[in-house]
Amino acid sequence: MRVPSSNLTFGVGGKDKDGKTTAGWGYYETIAGGSGAGPGWHGTSGVHTHITNTRIGDVEILERRYPIMLHRFGIRPDSGGKGRWKGGDGVIREIEVLQPLQVSMLSEVGHHDCLQDPSFSCAL
């Protein structure tokens, strides 16, 4: 599966069912992946390739400021494909939500449907 750009948002607030605005907060991050390989080189693992000038914040800051717990964050082994020149591996980011939040993920996915094929994990 190739996910060239993925974005995760979560937060609280906005408009309730009656249209009344409720104060809140929001969080937004871009999720790194792997860069593609080419003739003569392997791709790079765990980098932002299509969203420039971004960086994921430190885990300690994320957990201190927001009601979440990051259980796992690292390179997803062997996810860059096989071949003479391998693409870079993507990342795993396992987050536990500690209170009710609105969560959204925007992702551009290649030809695999991760909801139909459980061997590709992109669920929240």
Look at the pTM and tell me if it is higher than 0.75: no
pLDDT mean by block of 10 residues, the chain; 124 residues? 66 92 91 87 85 75 94 90 90 91 77 52 46
Judge whether 80 lies within some domain.
Answer: yes
Judge whether 72 lies within some domain.
Answer: yes
Judge whether 121 lies within some domain.
Answer: no
pLDDT value of residue 66: 95
The number of folded domains in the chain is 1
Judge whether 65 lies within some domain.
Answer: yes
CA dist 51 → 5, 23, 32, 55, 114 (Å): 7, 29, 9, 10, 22
Judge whether 22 lies within some domain.
Answer: yes
The torsion defined by the Cα of 82, 74, 57 and 120, in degrees rounded to 10, comes to 60
Judge whether 51 lies within some domain.
Answer: yes
Give the range of the structural domain holding residue 80, as residue numbers without chain letter.
6-107
